[in-house]
Amino acid sequence: MINQINQKIAEDFLCAFKAHDWEGIRSQLHADIKWTLPGNGMISGTAVGADAVIERTKIIIGGGVQTKLHHILVGQNGLTLSLNNAAISADGRILDEELATVLTVDNGLIIKIDTYLSNVPMMEKYFSK
């Protein structure tokens, strides 16, 4: 039963992400959620709270990033999304990296997101000012 719930959370989250449905995303997040991204770039560090998570998501989407889902891996306490992010900025910066985004779930809400990247320097350069 837990695995089916976590699978549904993953599918709903990805659907809302692709549709830029901010309220759809927010409805799946705990108010005190924390999202960590490695590195020292503009979007790196820990975003705390649903508003901060939504703002980070808007920056990523606003950067023209196209996200491709490889796999949804379901666990007892959440799920992992195996993804590829790719984009080319107007000034020629390139983003093409593999990600593992781990969503920790409690009582049907995402309480923590940890993202692991294949190329942190590339992400920092792409999202630099």
Q: Higher pLDDT residue, 46 or 17? A: 46
Extract the tokens encoding 47. 């975003």
Cα 59 to Cα 5, 53, 102, 109, 123, distances in angstroms: 28, 10, 20, 23, 12
Q: What confidence tens digit (pLDDT) does each residue in 54-87 have?
A: 999 999 999 999 999 999 999 989 999 999 999 9
CATH code: domain of residue 39: 3.10.450.50
Q: For residue 129, how many other CB atoms are within 10 A of its CB?
A: 4
Extract the tokens encoding 10. 């993953």
Q: What is the residue-wise DSSP string for 59-109?
A: HHHHTT-EEEEEEEEEETTEEEEEEEEEEE-TTS-EEEEEEEEEEEEETTE
Give yes or no for a contact between 99 and 115, defined as CB atoms under 8 angstroms apart: yes
Q: How many helices and strands (H and E) does the chain possess?
A: 4, 6
Mean pLDDT of 101-121: 96
Q: What confidence tens digit (pLDDT) does each residue in 21-53 have?
A: 999 999 999 999 999 999 999 999 999 999 999
Q: How many domains does the chain have?
A: 1
Looking up tokens 């781990």 gives 102
For residue 120, the enclosing domain spans 2-126
Which pLDDT band holds residue 4 (cuts at 50, 70, 90)?
Answer: confident
Overall pTM > 0.85:
yes
